[in-house]
């Protein structure tokens, strides 16, 4: 390293003797500076020169550790090498470095790094290089005694991560230099940056500018500003094997002022918990080092070959306090725990509220709301089976209510259709058809499937039908009696039969009918004709009964028999037309209801619920007594129920 010693002019003293002594002192200082320059040239600044103290990589004594490099800067020496490295450090640490250099020159460094979680890091350091006992001579080569030479720098740094993989830092320092009794100091500012891109997979790039802003050292004469130094460092990714072994390499390039570029390259193999081995070149000279670690202590030893002789270095590294990574992990765990506790508290409160609302909904019969709430609670508390059971109960209630609503709506529509058909028949004056429809309506409402809203209208309809039937039966009986007294036997029989069909308990019609039966034997021809007429009327009566019971096929057989006995019977023809009309009349509401009941019965039968299947199919027979499929299914369901009961 080149030494530049500048001396300030000494004020002239009044006495000539004083001026002579000063000239002798300056000659001695110049001679000492020349000796220092020759010594430092051997190791490229492993001794002194403040303007060179933080210059190119070769200017620093090193133990060979890759952490003491521009690209990594993972120990407190980052205060001088690259302040941005402080932001990458995980522990509070202290580094003390001592080196025995050539020509009895010593090197000392003490630095502390202090990372601040979430903020970055700060660091301070003190570096010194110097020697003592330099013999000084005057111009006449007369000894003037010995003098000392030292260079020191005090620095303070701050650093933090800027954005993404980029970190930056700066160092403010005060450099001082002394030679004998003369000394000077100058401020300086260093800048540094680190870049850790994902593409390098753990590799890093570092850049630093020393003396970006620098003062000047005034030891006499001209006092130029401190030379600016540029440093560029590369660090390879860490190659690991065996789980505990790692290998890494670094390369530092630097240039101070107009001097040639210097370099440092090295590799380090580390075994976790044991230590490391290092090898490299520093300013073209080999460096070998070893590091030993124990817990949070580290001891480094190095031997470096200088231009004249070998130098020895030792460094002690101590860490203390909680590592930043552990602190941040602990804080994250605490925040996560607090967040979880808060969420659990809110969840518990919401759970209690939902449970209370669900129970209130159950009490009010609002099973839909209860089902939703119990489902939510069941998903939030999958280990608790009680909400799942309550949800199943609510679901069953909702389904049952839906089925009842469908049944009630279907029954309402069926009852409305039957009532409309009954009113239509009553309006046409076809009381017998109206009576048959009313009986079907009574069976339907008697099964409990008609809505209560129709109760009053159905009572009014039944009352109107009863009045009309009684009135028509009385008219028919009166007409039968009149015809009988007039000797019109056949017409009287037809009128009496009609009255009895309308009202089997009509007294006048019964009396006429008995009188007609008693007069059968008076005349053989009239008796035969009357007998056929009575048989035909009896068949018509059977047809009306079958029709009223919904047995339309039996009614059709009976009416055919009546027409065979009395082809001209108006009653038989009327019933024939009525039966055909009924069998041909479309019944959309009844058919839809029958289809629904049939499907439900098949589903229940397939599931083994024979009782429910029997109930559905029996409702079909109430609505459609001629349904042979329903009749067969009813028999089959009853047989299955008997078989299960006998087991």
The pLDDT tens digits for 50-64 are 344 444 444 578 888
With a cut of 70, say whether residue 411 has pLDDT above it: no
**What average pLDDT does this structure show over 527-533?**
64
End-to-end, the C-alpha distance of the chain in Å comes to: 112
> CA angle, corner 185, sides to 180 and 191, nearest 5?
135
Predicted pLDDT of residue 551: 73
C-alpha span between 366 and 401 (Å, rounded) = 11
Alpha-carbon span 127 to 61, nearest angstrom: 11
Average pLDDT, the chain: 77
What is the distance between the alpha carbons of residues 223 and 216, in angstroms, rounded to a whole number? Answer: 6
What SS3 state is found at 239? strand
CA distance 622 to 166: 87
Domain membership of residue 489 (yes or no) is yes
Residue 578 counted as domain residue = no
d(CA 392, CA 375): 9
Query: Is the distance from CB of 317 to CB of 75 less than 8 angstroms?
Result: yes
**Domain of residue 54, residue span:** 16-321
Report the distance separating Cα 522 and Cα 53, nearest Å.
159
18-22, 285-289, 299-303, 384-388: segment of lowest average pLDDT: 18-22
Q: Which helix (H) or strand (E) holds 499?
A: helix 489-502
The pLDDT score that the predictor gives to residue 221 is: 58
Chain CA centroid to CA 602, Å:
44
Domain end call among 274, 292, 321: 321
pLDDT in tens, 298-340: 999 999 887 778 889 999 999 998 898 888 888 888 888 888 8
Give the strand pairing for 229-235 and 245-256: antiparallel
Q: Which two tokens stand for residue 49?
A: 């020169």
Residues 218 and 270 reside in one and the same domain = yes
Please tell me whether residues 188 and 256 are part of one structural domain.
yes
Residue 535 in any domain: the answer is no
How many whole angstroms separate alpha carbon 250 and alpha carbon 245? 17
pLDDT at 12: 33
Q: What percent of the chain has pLDDT over 90?
A: 20
141 shares a domain with 212: yes
Q: Is the pLDDT of residue 143 over 90?
A: no
Q: What is the mean pLDDT of residues 549-569?
A: 79
The pLDDT of residue 117: 87
Ranges 314-318, 420-424, 461-465, 495-499, most confident: 314-318
Q: Is 102's pLDDT higher than 90?
A: no
CA-only gyration radius of the chain, Å: 60
Question: Would you place residue 517 in the very low, low, confident or very high pLDDT band (cuts 50, 70, 90)?
Answer: low
The DSSP letter of residue 315 is: E
pLDDT at 167: 95
Instruction: Tell me how many degrees the CA angle 198-204-208 measures, rounded to the nearest 5.
Output: 135
- DSSP state at residue 225: B
Same domain, 456 and 310: no
How far apart, in whole angstroms, are the C-alpha atoms of residue 497 and residue 211?
134
**Helical ranges in 68-128 per DSSP H:** 78-81
Q: Report the CATH number that the domain containing residue 597 is assigned in CATH.
A: 1.25.40.10
Considering its fold, how many domains does the chain have in total? 4
* 258, 388: one domain: no
Q: What is the dihedral of CA 42, 43, 49, 51, to 10 degrees?
A: 120
Residues 140 and 67 both lie in one domain: yes
Place of tokens 């990574």: 325
Q: What is the mean pLDDT of residues 26-54?
A: 40
Indicate whether 573 belongs to any domain.
Answer: no
- Give a yes or no: residue 419 inside a domain: no
Q: Are residues 229 and 116 in the same domain?
A: yes
**pTM exceeds 0.85:** no
What is the predicted pLDDT for the residue at 271? 92
CA angle 607, 608, 613 (to 5 degrees): 90
Give me the pLDDT at residue 95, please. Answer: 96
Report if residue 538 sits inside a domain: no
Distance CA 489, CA 480 (A): 9
Residue 495: pLDDT over 80: no
pLDDT tens track for 256-269: 877 888 889 999 99
Average pLDDT over residues 220-242: 83
312 & 343 share domain: no
Q: What's the pLDDT tens digit per position in 566-611?
A: 787 777 787 787 777 666 655 666 767 777 888 888 888 888 888 8
* Domain shared by 346 and 433, yes or no: no
CATH at 244: 2.40.160.40
Instruction: State the pLDDT at residue 57.
Output: 43
Measured CA to CA, the distance from residue 291 to residue 280 in angstroms comes to 14
Give the burial string for 127-152 (b: 16+ CB within 10 Å, else e): bbbbbeebebbbeeeeebeebebbbb
pLDDT for res 1: 34
Q: Which residue has the higher pLDDT, 549 or 103?
A: 103
Encoded tokens for 123: 């660091």
Looking at 468, 498, 519, which one is the last position of a domain? 519
* Nearest in space to 44 (alpha carbons), one of 288, 260, 313, 300: 260
The predicted structure's pLDDT at residue 40: 43
Give the least confident one: 4-13, 163-172, 253-262, 569-578: 4-13
Pairing of strands 262-271, 275-282: antiparallel
Residue 361 lies in a domain: yes
pLDDT of residue 21: 45
Q: Are residues 120 and 188 in the same domain?
A: yes
Same domain, 312 and 336: no
User: How many helices, marked H, and strands, marked E, lie in the chain?
Assistant: 15, 15
568 in a domain, yes or no? Answer: no
Residue 217: name the closest of 10, 1, 8 by CA. 8
- Looking at 321, 340, 367, which one is the last position of a domain? 321
Q: Are 360 and 219 found together in one domain?
A: no
pLDDT for 17 beyond 60: no
Q: What percent of the chain has pLDDT over 70?
A: 75
Q: How many whole angstroms from its chain centre is CA 273? A: 41
Question: In this predicted model, what pLDDT tens digit does every residue of 70-96 receive, in sequence order?
Answer: 999 999 999 999 999 999 999 999 999
Tell me, what's the pLDDT at 604? 86
């Amino acid at each position: 390293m080149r030494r530049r010693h500048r001396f300030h002019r000494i004020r002239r003293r009044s006495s000539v003797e004083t001026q002579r002594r000063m000239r002798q002192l300056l000659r001695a200082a110049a001679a000492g500076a020349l000796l220092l320059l020759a010594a430092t040239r051997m190791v490229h600044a492993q001794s002194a020169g403040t303007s060179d103290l933080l210059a190119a990589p070769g200017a620093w004594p090193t133990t060979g550790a890759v952490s003491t490099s521009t690209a990594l800067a993972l120990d407190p020496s980052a205060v001088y090498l690259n302040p941005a490295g402080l932001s990458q450090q995980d522990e509070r640490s202290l580094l003390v470095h001592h080196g025995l250099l050539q020509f009895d020159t010593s090197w000392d460094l003490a630095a502390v790094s202090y990372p601040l979680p979430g903020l970055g890091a700060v660091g301070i350091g003190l570096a010194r290089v110097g020697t003592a006992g330099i013999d000084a001579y005057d111009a006449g080569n007369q000894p003037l005694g010995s003098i000392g030479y030292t260079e020191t720098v005090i620095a303070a740094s701050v650093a933090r991560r800027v954005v993404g993989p980029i970190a930056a830092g700066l160092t403010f320092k005060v450099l001082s230099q002394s030679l004998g009794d003369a000394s000077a100091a100058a401020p300086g500012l260093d800048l540094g940056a680190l870049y850790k891109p994902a593409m390098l997979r753990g590799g890093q790039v570092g850049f630093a500018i020393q003396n970006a802003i620098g003062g000047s050292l005034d030891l006499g004469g001209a006092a130029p500003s401190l030379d600016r130094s540029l440093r560029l460092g590369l660090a390879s990714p860490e190659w690991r094997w065996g789980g505990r072994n790692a290998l890494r390499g670094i390369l530092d390039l630097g240039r101070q002022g107009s001097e040639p570029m210097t370099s440092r390259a090295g590799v380090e193999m580390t075994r976790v918990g044991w230590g490391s081995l290092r090898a490299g070149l520093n300013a073209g000279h080999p460096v070998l080092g070893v590091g030993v670690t124990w817990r949070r202590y580290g001891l480094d030893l190095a031997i470096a070959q200088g231009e004249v002789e070998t130098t020895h270095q030792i460094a002690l590294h101590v860490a203390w306090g909680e590592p930043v990574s552990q602190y941040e992990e602990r804080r994250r765990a605490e925040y996560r725990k607090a967040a979880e506790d808060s969420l659990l508290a809110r969840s518990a409160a919401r759970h209690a509220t939902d449970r209370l609302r669900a129970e209130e909904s159950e009490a009010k019969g609002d099973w839909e709301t209860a089902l939703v709430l119990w489902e939510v609670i069941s998903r939030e508390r999958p280990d608790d089976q009680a909400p799942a059971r309550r949800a199943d109960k609510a679901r069953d209630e909702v389904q049952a209510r839906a089925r009842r609503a469908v049944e009630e709506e279907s029954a309402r529509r069926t009852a409305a259709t039957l009532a409309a058909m009954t009113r239509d028949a009553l309006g046409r004056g076809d009381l017998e058809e109206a009576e048959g429809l009313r009986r079907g309506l009574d069976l339907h409402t008697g099964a409990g499937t008609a809505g209560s809203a129709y109760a009053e209208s159905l009572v009014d309809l039944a009352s109107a039908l009863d009045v009309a039937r009684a009135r028509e039966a009385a008219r028919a009986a009166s007409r039968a009696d009149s015809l009988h007294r007039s000797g019109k036997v056949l017409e009287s029989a037809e009128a009496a039969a009609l009255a009895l069909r309308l009202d089997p308990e009509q007294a006048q019609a019964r009396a006429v009918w008995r009188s007609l039966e008693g007069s059968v034997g008076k005349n053989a021809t009239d008796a035969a004709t009357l007998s056929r007429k009575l048989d035909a009327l009896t068949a018509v009566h059977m047809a009306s009964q079958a029709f009223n019971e919904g047995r339309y096929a039996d009614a059709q057989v009976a009416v055919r028999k009546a027409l065979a006995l009395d082809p001209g019977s108006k009653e038989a023809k009327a019933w024939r037309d009525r039966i055909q009309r009924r069998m041909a009349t479309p019944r959309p509401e009844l058919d839809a209801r029958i289809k629904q009941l049939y499907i439900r019965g098949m589903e229940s039968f397939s599931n083994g619920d024979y009782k429910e299947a029997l109930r559905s199919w029996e409702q079909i027979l109430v609505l459609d007594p001629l349904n042979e499929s329903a009749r067969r299914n009813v028999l089959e369901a009853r047989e299955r129920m008997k078989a299960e009961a006998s087991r």
